[in-house]
Amino acid sequence: MRGLTLDGVRQVSYRTDLPEPSLHEPGDALVAVRRAGLCGSDLHPYEGREAVRFGVVPGHEVVGEVLAVGDAVRRFGPGDRVLVPFTISCGACRACGTGLSSRCATGALFGYAPPGSDAPALHGGQAERLRVPLADGTLVAVPAGMADEQALLLSDNFPTGWYAAERADIAHGEPVVVVGAGAVGLCAVAAAFELGADTVLAVDPVEGRRRRAADLGAAVAAPEDAASAAAAIAGADSVGSVIEAAGTRAASALAFSLIRPGGTLSVIAVQTADRLAFAPVDAYDVNLTVRFGRAPVRSLLDRLLPRVAAGLRIPTGAVVSHPRVALEDGPALYRRFAAREPGLVKALFDVGSAAGS
């Protein structure tokens, strides 16, 4: 099987001899991957900011077609077109039942294996085929007529941006600041408008990403201009809702500096630093509400898909910069993404036909 493996820090390999996945449990499904995303959080282990076990197929964003299912799978069968949220979930535990599928009692993250453990890895989607445990609780049918690019964004970035905006306590007609205009940040900009924001200010050091945010209707600023830009949209009242979608200490410090007393800071970016950029007493002194955590994509899709069917727009054009990258170009793509190449925001691997190529 063709695919990528993360073999060390800044070491991604293209392979043609990967073992074929198989059905291990009655609840498993095998999926032929059509498109797989390269996510900003894939860079954390690639750049050595997150400890992982190497030799694993990376990637946690997938659209594909079911090839085979185990005897216990009831909701899906061969030929079904599906999107794969980035974590598996049973759909029956307390976390799943309360809408927190990302913390399922038996859940796991695709493309990840903990360091120092001999537990089997849950290989990711940057390969031709993917084993999906807990298929009935994890997989989601792709609505008829939906493009692969849209479905791919629904596997992670768009629900994640939506979750960030929902937790930011956006008041109707009030301004919102989004720090970080990568794929998730851009989705958060779109979601903030949908949830009632009057003005959204997108802050990012990369001019091309600011242009994409502007295409979504946002005011934009470089980090050094963020304070004055926030004052311009909020006036003397300042900003009550700030979303941090970059994941750096500098971004967290900036986000904290822009928020007014009594405001809400919604931190959606994966955090790899060992401490916050602001002290507990600083948060205490401004009565700050701070919300962290991984988006429960599978749970959110139950609410989002009806809204998409009713006309909610997935901002594919603004987010997806490279819709078709060959798997064999994966090592170079990781290098380009890590170098913050201008114009590269969201890339999708074009893995092949449903039958696998």
Residue 224 has a pLDDT of 97
pLDDT at res. 272: 85
Structure pTM? Answer: 0.95
For 50-82, write each residue's pLDDT tens digit.
999 999 999 999 999 999 999 999 999 999 999
- Please give the Cα distance from 109 to 190 (Å, whole number): 26
Whether residue 355 has pLDDT greater than 60: no
Is residue 237 very low, low, confident or very high in pLDDT (cuts 50, 70, 90)?
confident
Sketch the domain layout of the chain as residue ranges: 3-156+296-350, 159-291
pLDDT at 190 over 80: yes
CATH architecture entry for 159-291 = 3-Layer(aba) Sandwich (3.40)
Task: Note the pLDDT of residue 126.
Answer: 98
pLDDT for res 356: 34
State the average pLDDT over residues 300-319. 96
**pLDDT digit string, tens, across residues 252-278:** 999 999 999 999 999 999 988 888 899
User: What whole-number percentage of the chain has pLDDT above 90?
Assistant: 91
Report which of residues 113 and 117 the model is more confident about. 113
**What does the pLDDT look like over 327-338, one tens digit per residue?**
999 999 999 999
Mean pLDDT of 187-206: 97
- Please compute the mean of the pLDDT values over residues 130-138 and round it to a whole number: 98
236: confidence class by pLDDT, cuts 50, 70, 90 = confident
pLDDT category at 119 given cuts 50, 70, 90 is confident
CATH class of 3-156+296-350: alpha beta
